[in-house]
């Protein structure tokens, strides 16, 4: 039992010692969130408008088909059975375009909030400063708290 614990301890020690170093998360890229928000809002309006127009055209075509086939049935006294064309695909595409526009509006508001929050930030950095050590200068590191306020 003693050997089992010793082997386990040595294995964990070796893994921690010789394992690969995990990479630190990269800093957020410098993105103009207001511009991204404006572009997403424009795309949202475009998709929502196209989806709404497609839905209206599909509804009009479906209603015209129902009315036209109803008149055929009435005038033929029920002897002719009309064929109905399915508009399911057009309805789904229109609904998808409207849904995509709504998603772009949501993303636009998140980017707008991000841009407003980016104007003020507090961060911690590690600064290096030369320090005299006996007869030579050495760079030593020390933590520093910084603030950034943009107008």
Separation CA 105–CA 51 (nearest Å):
14
> Please, are residues 105 and 41 in contact by the beta-carbon 8 Å criterion?
yes
Q: Rounded CA gap, 33 and 112, in Å? A: 6
Q: 72, 98 in Cβ contact below 8 A? A: no
Pick from 13-17, 61-65, 128-132, 147-151: least confident: 13-17
Domain assignment present for residue 112? The answer is: yes
Over residues 52-85, the pLDDT tens digits come to 999 999 999 998 888 888 888 777 877 777 788 8
Within a domain: residue 48?
yes
CA dihedral over 132, 137, 143, 149, signed as positive or negative: positive
Asked whether residue 122 is domain-assigned, the answer is: no
In a domain, 42, yes or no: yes
Domain residues for the domain of 67 are: 31-117
Residue 56 pLDDT: 96
């Amino acid at each position: 039992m003693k050997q089992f614990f010793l082997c386990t301890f040595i294995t964990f020690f070796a893994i921690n010692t010789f394992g690969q170093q995990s990479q630190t998360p990269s800093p957020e890229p410098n993105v103009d969130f207001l511009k991204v928000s404006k572009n997403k809002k424009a795309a949202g309006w475009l998709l929502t408008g196209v989806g709404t127009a497609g839905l209206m055209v599909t509804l009009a075509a479906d209603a015209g088909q129902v009315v036209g086939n109803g008149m055929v049935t009435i005038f033929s006294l029920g002897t002719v059975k009309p064929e109905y064309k399915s508009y399911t695909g057009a309805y789904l595409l229109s609904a998808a375009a409207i849904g995509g526009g709504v998603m772009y509006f949501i993303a636009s508001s998140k980017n707008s909030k991000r841009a407003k929050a980016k104007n003020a930030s507090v961060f911690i950095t590690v600064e290096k400063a030369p320090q005299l050590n006996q007869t030579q200068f050495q760079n030593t590191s020390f933590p520093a708290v910084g603030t950034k306020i943009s107008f």
